[in-house]
Amino acid sequence: MSFLENKWWKQAIGYQIYLRSFYDTNGDGIGDINGIIEKLDYLKDLGVDLLWICPFYKSPMDDNGYDVSDFYDISPEYGTLEDAKRLIKEAHKRGIRIIADLVMNQTSDEHEWFMESRKSLDNPYRDYYIWQKGKIVDGKEVEPTNWASFFGGSCWQKDDITGEYYMKIFSKKMPDLNWANEAVRKSMFVMAKFWLDLGIDGFRVDAVAHIARSKTFEDSTMDSNEKYKPDWRKFSNLPKLHDYLKEFNHEVLSKYDVMTVGEVGGGAMPKEAIEYAGLNRDELNMVFNFDHNWCNNVWDLKDPNEKVVTNLPHLKDMFDKWQTNLYGNAWHPIYWLNHDQPRVMSQYGNVEKRILSGSMLATALYFMWGTPFIYQGEEIGMTNYPFKTIEDFNDVSVKNSYHIACVEGNQDKDRFIGFTAHRSRDNARTPMQWKNAPYAGFSSAKPWFHENPNYTSINVEDEQNNPDSLLNYYKKVLKLRKDPTYIDTFIFGDYEQVLREHPSVYAYLRSYEDDILVVTNFFDDVQTVSIEGLEVEVLLLSNYKNTVPTLKHLVLRPYESFVLKVKKTI
């Protein structure tokens, strides 16, 4: 396949739905599939034509559905298989495709494979999971290795029935599948086919970077003070997984016109992304990385009340790294946040100037090349939640870390909560704010997770009624991205950063059939810049009421942003 070959997923505009928090239609306080069906017209009107829906399978919900106990059924609180079929049909009727979250790295400990596997050393399902004996150190049994889990503590859990340990790189209720076992791979492929045959248009492949692990279970020699070493290389981006993905592609994906986006997370570099998604690699179509998600001081705060400040030079470098290295080599998704990150409005925006800063952020991102994924609520500028106590959180990883740090350890509880409030994935998981009504209009009953109190001023209904709202600006952005005159440039144009050294302004040029310049002021003060060699032909979009600007002397008001068709003059 050539980079410039037109595929539906290169043109698509994606929207991620965290089902549990999207819209509840049956009054149990939990979002459901019928809730998505009811909001399809809203999504169509916004301009999206691809939905990524977080896991809807049967699950004990230890990690809100990433712990699957039955891959072939829908969790009852979300609906039924019939609802899922109706959703696919109704979405397709509106020209909207759907990708499911494919959870292949682990199951729930309540999945029948694991319940069998743990029964005895010779159970036929034993080898579906990764079991090891403990190690004896100084006469005492310890975990097989000193590797950490992403959710805190060890990545091994002792099981009393056989006295061995199973691997779990997330929570203890999420045992890792053993992809080295052919029977596991075949079972996953059959399951993927089941959903594709139902009409699903592809997958976001969860935690795909981890499906192969180091074959030798040796301690990490990483230099760190922690008891369990965060040595993710032991189970991330290992070469063997590419054989598995090629097999998956050959046996399943290649037989359908579908798209796949893998989650490869923090560790992967563009070179590795090209191994997953490169042209003619026959693995995945694109992969998510997290490089641009943390370009501020939230991990370096000395005090939880310190101001969060965007590190724009860092953010620019991250965008450059992916936009330039992948161009021509592998397709790429573009997104601000997902259900595992804080709200972008709180990360890089300005809550006090929500519409201006939110429209700037949308402009800065959604004219890059790649397939956009908007996260629910981003289009109205939803913000982080004001967490105050550990009880306010839901996330199993926060609870584990709190226990280790503040119950077993002696970290100050208030400071832990203060820092975690900035960083927690729970920020993205509060109910969608549909209107200024009880429970933010998300449900008629008390929601499973508290709504952000600012729903009174940040909600879809108010945004729909205000022509100058952030929601209406998002619609303009997405409409322009699909404008037949410019669509080829937006999809296939290359990317070149302009004003590279500027500390406050982010600007880039997209060139293909046309030249399109995007200029954004990331901060709350006025910037004056001069851009040489380009002349404005058409003002395509701006977040202020504007006339055609002059690039030689461009005065940018707080958060001011432009999309301009330009002509090269030299």
Instruction: Give me the residues that bind ligand NOJ (CB under 6 A), please.
Output: 63, 66, 103, 170, 206-207, 263, 339-340
Distance CA 568, CA 80 (A): 56
Assess contact for 267 and 233: CB atoms under 8 A.
yes
Neighbours of 72 (CB within 10 A): 12
Q: Distance between CA 362 and CA 478 in Å, rounded?
A: 10
**Cβ proximity to ligand NOJ, 90 vs 340, nearer residue:** 340
Nearest residue to ligand NOJ, scored by beta-carbon proximity: 66
Closer CB to ligand NOJ, 204 or 481, in the complex:
204
Minimum distance from residue 71 beta carbon to ligand NOJ (Å):
13
487 by Cβ neighbours in 10 Å (0-12 / 13-18 / 19+) ranks as middle
The minimum distance between CB 493 and ligand NOJ, in angstroms, equals: 30
Q: Least Å distance between CB 263 and ligand NOJ?
A: 6
- Helical H segments across 166-310, by residue range: 182-197, 240-251, 270-277
CA dihedral 324, 541, 469, 294 (to 10 degrees): 20
Give start and end residues of each alpha helix (H) in 19-111. Answer: 33-38, 40-46, 81-93
Q: Which of 318, 204, 315, 214 is nearest to 264 (CA)?
A: 204
- Rounded CA gap, 454 and 430, in Å? 11
Q: Which is nearer to ligand NOJ, 191 or 487 (CB)?
A: 191
**What single DSSP character describes residue 310?**
B
CB of 262 to ligand NOJ, least distance (A): 11
> b/e string for 307-334 if b means 16 or more Cβ within 10 A?
eeebbbeebbebbeebbebbbebbbbbb
Is the Cβ of residue 263 or residue 379 nearer to ligand NOJ in the bound state? 263
Q: How far is the CB of 72 from ligand NOJ (least distance, A)?
A: 18
**By C-beta, is 52 or 474 nearer to ligand NOJ?**
52
| 24: nearest Cα among 459, 455, 451, 447 | 447
Enumerate residues 6+ apart whose C-beta is below 8 A from 288.
Answer: 204, 261, 262, 263, 264, 265, 333, 335, 338
Beta-bridge partners for 17:
53
- HEC string of 474-508 equals HHHHHHHHCCCCCHHHHHHCEEEEECCCCCCEEEE
Question: Which residues partner with 515 through β-bridges?
Answer: 511, 566
Spell out where 266-357 has E strands.
286-289, 333-335
Of 267 and 304, nearer to ligand NOJ (C-beta) is 267
In angstroms, the Cα distances linking 149 to 37, 145, 156, 228, 393 are 37, 11, 8, 8, 20
Q: Which is nearer to ligand NOJ, 25 or 397 (CB)?
A: 397
Instruction: Compute, in degrees rounded to 10, the torsion defined by CA atoms 139, 140, 146, 151.
Output: 180
Instruction: Identify whether the C-beta of residue 347 lies closer than 8 Å to the C-beta of residue 309.
Output: no
Nearer to ligand NOJ, 248 or 473 (CB): 248
Q: Are 506 and 529 in contact (CB under 8 A)?
A: no
User: Helix, strand, or coil here: 116?
Assistant: helix
Q: How far is the CB of 19 from ligand NOJ (least distance, A)?
A: 12
Catalytic residues: 206, 263
Nearer to ligand NOJ, 340 or 494 (CB): 340
